[in-house]
Amino acid sequence: MASERAETTAVGTAPVAEEASGVRVALSPYLFRGTLVGMAAVAVALHRATGNRDLAWRFAKARARTLTWMLGVDVRVCGLEQLAGGGPFVFAPNHQSHLDILVLLGFLPGRTRFAAKRELWAHPVVGAVLDTLGMVPIDRDHPERAIDALDRAAAERHSFVIFPEGTRSRTGQLLPFKKGAFVLAIAAGLPVVPGEVEIVIEAPISTAGLGYDDRDSLAGRVREVIARHHTGW
């Protein structure tokens, strides 16, 4: 697939009075968790009551944008039109903040599904939300199941988000990339879009013609692109 280029930029908190900013910082963890739980519960209820996953998705994306606004995060999106003619994609962002998932959910186009470790489904509330939004569990013992799910999503023209670091960086440094995201992308034949949250989305890197043995070089290319923009310590 030919490469396209797009950039999505989420910039930091807009200027506010120092006192108001301090209150926001103090309350943001509680606001984030409380609103997220409420949003998730309503999305699950909508899906179970109507059977309409699109409705649940529209609600979840809208409330994710509302929550970023409530937390004082000013998000600017530019260049998404560059992705309009392509896709689906595997988005491969770095992971430095608990807000990463929220911003990606709210501002990436369409029903961009997340791949997450299967252990998250052990929590009944979290599992219900993940199932409602059609998120894909990654079972390290059975990676072929994730590949099948990715193939089905690609057939439905849905993109994926997979964090190649595998976990959130606690230091701000870019962690080593795990290979799973790139094995899945190669298996499904989907181009990989490097990105970082702020968010900057770079040109998709085609996986056409690649095989399993190319997973390391693909991971290296994506990591190199992200490192050029990386603002961590």
Domain residue ranges of the chain, discontinuous segments joined by +: 7-12+75-229
**Residue with tokens 């990105």, as numbered in its chain:** 195
- Measured in whole angstroms, the distance separating CA 106 from the mean position of its chain's CA atoms is 9
One-letter identity of residue 35:
T
C-alpha of 216 from chain center: 22
Peptide bond before residue 194 is cis, with ω within 30 degrees of 0: no
What's the pLDDT score for residue 72? Answer: 76
Report the alpha-carbon distance of residue 20 to residue 26 in Å, rounded.
10
Structural tokens at position 42: 């309503």
Encode 26-38: b = buried (16+ Cβ within 10 Å), e = exposed: eebeeebeebbee
State the pLDDT at residue 172. Answer: 66
Q: What is the pLDDT of residue 88?
A: 81
pLDDT values of the chain reduced to their tens digit, one per residue, 233 residues: 333 333 333 333 333 333 344 444 444 556 666 666 777 888 888 888 988 888 888 998 998 888 888 777 777 776 677 677 677 888 888 777 777 888 888 888 888 888 878 888 888 878 888 888 888 887 777 767 767 777 776 677 778 888 887 767 676 677 778 777 787 788 778 888 887 656 677 788 889 999 989 989 998 898 888 887 665 54
Collect all residues with Cβ–Cβ distance below 8 Å to 109 and sequence separation of at least 6: 80, 83, 159
Q: What is the pLDDT of residue 118?
A: 83
- Asked if residue 186 lies in contact with residue 214, where contact means CB atoms within 8 angstroms, the answer is yes
Distance of CA 172 to the CA centre of its chain: 18
Partners of 10 in the β-ladder: 75
Asked whether 177 and 164 are in contact (CB, 8 A), the reply is yes
Q: How far apart are CA 115 and CA 181, in angstroms?
A: 9
* CA 46/CA 44 separation, integer angstroms: 5
Q: Is the whole-model pTM more than 0.95?
A: no
Q: How far apart are CA 138 and CA 161, in angstroms?
A: 12
